[in-house]
Chain A
Amino acid sequence: MERKIRVVMAKLGLDIHWRGVYLVSQFLKDSGMEVIYLGNKFPEQIVEAAVEEDADVIGLSSLGGSHLTLGPKVVRLLKERGLDHIKVFMGGVMAPKDARSLEEEHGIAKVYLPDTPMQVIIDGIRSTVALA
């Protein structure tokens, strides 16, 4: 049977902005992936869910300003449990220098800022999973 990419999607912490994460989740579903949508969750719960769901990828939506604290924490917790093969993507509103810092210093696979075409996100996830 064809192997489906499993993506755990969550809103980071107490962020209430739902539209972005809904939109991306829906498009990932339409591209044939299995999206496990968590709603609002904290890093510990997100990592726990990724373990139980055997996720290939975690997608974090952040428009609430906690991207520099909670985002890297997810990567750290994964590393602590020996789950580096699960790649973490982020999307949302943040300063471009924060995005660069997350990618270069904190182990986030890719940060997608506003106006990213949906196909770029889909292709990004597919190629990352194919490499793993």
Chain B
Amino acid sequence: MKKIDDIIASALTGDKACTSRLISLVERDDEQAPYIMRQLYPFSGKAYYIGITGAPGAGKSTTVDKLVKMFCKNGKNVGVIAVDPSSPFSGGALLGDRVRVNIKKTEYNYFFRSMSSGNIMGGLSRTTKEAARILDACGKDIIIIETVGVGQSELDVAKATDTVVVILTPESGDGVQIMKAGLIEVADIFVVNKCDRPGAENIAHALKGMLDRIDYRLSWKPPIIKTSASLNKGVDTLYEGLGEHRRYLNCDKKIKQRRQRQIREELKRNIETEFIKTILSDIYNGNDFGKALDNVCEHRIDPQNAARQIVTAWLSKDMQPSEKWAKGV
């Protein structure tokens, strides 16, 4: 077994197996995961992040396959993270996004990784962003994140990417569906896929109507691109649209602001998690918890009041140093 520093060094020079192993270690929350991210994070931040989202079967993976080929053809080094759902019953998963990937050219430089969503409901998995950062640090120019098949309110992809592509189909609904809050609001680019089917015009028209109504407050008006990904139609227009949004973000440092907003939220979430974890482990390892457990089991006190007592006791215990400080002791 190789040492972790050797694995990191090889991954940074583009070794696929080592990159892959790092993603696994971070994904399964290995004890080395914090060290890995600490070493790699300074190398990340150079890639451009694209999110692809939409309902199950809308054509996300097929679109990703075509996009990867186009980026590779233009000399880009592409990383893909594709998320599919985990079973809440067995914990297992069937990750099927690779079925649509059919890249035969061996000179193309890409890395495709499937991840299971775990128990996270936002469309991505707990460590999707970390995995994307690992690929970023290991030299990918473009990162494509494909979400699980989503409904209306799985919006994590908007917190993790620079450009969000929402893929709809002629069956996605009428004008009322398009006006609803959620997924529709985070799109930087709309794709109406399967546009060879009847109804494509209607949904494109509904989208245009919705966007026209809020035109006055949009600095970027999401384009509506009609594609038929499996027939490789319109994907070149999507490719151009992605370039256009990137140029828009690069102007006036908008991309910096967007990323700063995302990182601010991410940092806050992490502080919350760490904070709760630290306090809870302190409480669960303390004497009070064991005593309270006994008391509740023996029916001397009910769980709710016992919990209240523990938290109050913990707070007053923690108040002591600052009280001392306030009194100037």
Give Cα A1–Cα B17 distance, bound, in whole angstroms: 22
CB distance from A32 to the nearest CB of B (A): 4
Q: Are B93 and A35 in contact (CB under 8 A)?
A: yes
* Chain A 56-100 near chain B by CB (<8 Å), digits 1 or 0: 000000000000000000000000010100000000000000000
Q: Is A19 an interface residue (CB 8 A)?
A: no
Say whether A31 contacts B92, CB under 8 Å. yes
Contact assessment for A30 and B90 in the assembled complex, using a CB-CB cutoff below 8 Å? yes
* Separation of A132 and B185 alpha carbons in the complex (Å): 48
Chain A interface mostly: mixed
- Majority-rule SS of B interface residues: mixed
Does A29 sit within 8 A of B, measured CB to CB?
yes
Q: How far is the CB of A62 from chain B (nearest CB, A)?
A: 18
The listed residue (A25, A37, A51) touching B17 by CB distance below 8 A is: A51
- Known contacts being A36-B98, A38-B99, is A53 close to B92, with CB within 8 Å? no
Let me know if B28 and A29 touch, CB within 8 A. Answer: no
A30 to B93 Cα, complex, angstroms: 8
Q: Inside 8 A of B98's CB, which chain A residues have their CB?
A: 36-39, 49
Tell me the bound Cα distance from A55 to B295 in angstroms.
48
* B-side contacts of A103, CB under 8 Å: none
A54: chain B residues within 8 A (beta carbon)? 17, 20-21, 23-24
| Residue B29 CB within 8 A of the other chain | yes
Rounded to whole angstroms, the CA-CA distance of A34 and B112 in the bound complex is 16
Q: How far is the CA of A30 from the CA of B99 in the complex (A)?
A: 20
The 7 closest A-B pairs by CB, nearest first: A39-B99, A29-B92, A1-B29, A54-B20, A54-B24, A32-B92, A29-B94
Interface residues of A, Cβ cutoff 8 Å to B:
1-4, 6, 25-26, 28-39, 44, 49, 51-54, 81, 83
